[in-house]
Amino acid sequence: MTIHPAPKPPVTEKKPRKRLVAKKRLQAKTPIKKRNKERLDRRTKQYKVYMSSATWKGRRLAALIAADWKCQRCGEAAMVTSNVARVGAVIEHLTEVYFHVHHKTYARFGKELPEDLEVLCESCHNAEHASRAIKPRFLRAG
């Protein structure tokens, strides 16, 4: 009795795997991504127009006065002297540099209530946005 070896399957060539870079290029051309970019551009334009309007500047000034020119998180006070307090334009410039009037929610954007806004110093405002940012995997808990 002789034992014959099993026949070998025919040799087929393997197709090269596509690189991930090509996937990103394809995603950039999808209509959904294009629509989202158009929507984001439109919202960004509306945001910039509103933030430079007199309505927003009035609400911002009202929030700063209500907060007594202090950060509502850490209590840091504005660097405004009594001589400078008389000149509204200088106060506006100083508060632009040191304080941010932060939107807690954008649900009533353009028609904000006083409780929708929060006065934050530069470091507290940066910390607020850093806490919401998507963290790299190696920095995530768990």
Which residue, 124, 108, 116, 114, is CA-closest to 62? Answer: 114
pLDDT value at 121 more than 70: yes
The token pair that represents 42 in the structure block: 């439109």
The pLDDT value recorded for residue 37 is 85
Average pLDDT over residues 102-107: 87
Which residue, 133, 75, 64, is CA-closest to 101? Answer: 64
Boundaries of every domain in the chain: 25-139
Share of the chain above pLDDT 70, in %: 66
- 92-102 residue pLDDT tens: 555 445 788 98
Which three-class secondary structure string do you get for 12-28? CCCCCCCCHHHHHHHHH
Confidence of residue 81 (pLDDT cuts 50, 70, 90): very low
Backbone dihedral region for residue 74 (phi beyond 0: left; psi -120 to 50: alpha; all else: beta): alpha
Average pLDDT over residues 10-33: 63
Which of these ranges, 4-8, 41-45, 90-94, 121-125, has the smallest mean pLDDT? 90-94
The pLDDT value recorded for residue 70 is 86
The DSSP symbol for 107 reads: T
Q: Who has greater pLDDT, 64 or 94?
A: 64
CATH topology of domain 25-139: His-Me finger endonuclease fold (3.40.1800)
Average pLDDT over residues 67-85: 71
pLDDT value at 82 more than 60: no
In this structure, are residues 110 and 104 in contact, taking their beta carbons and an 8 Å threshold?
no
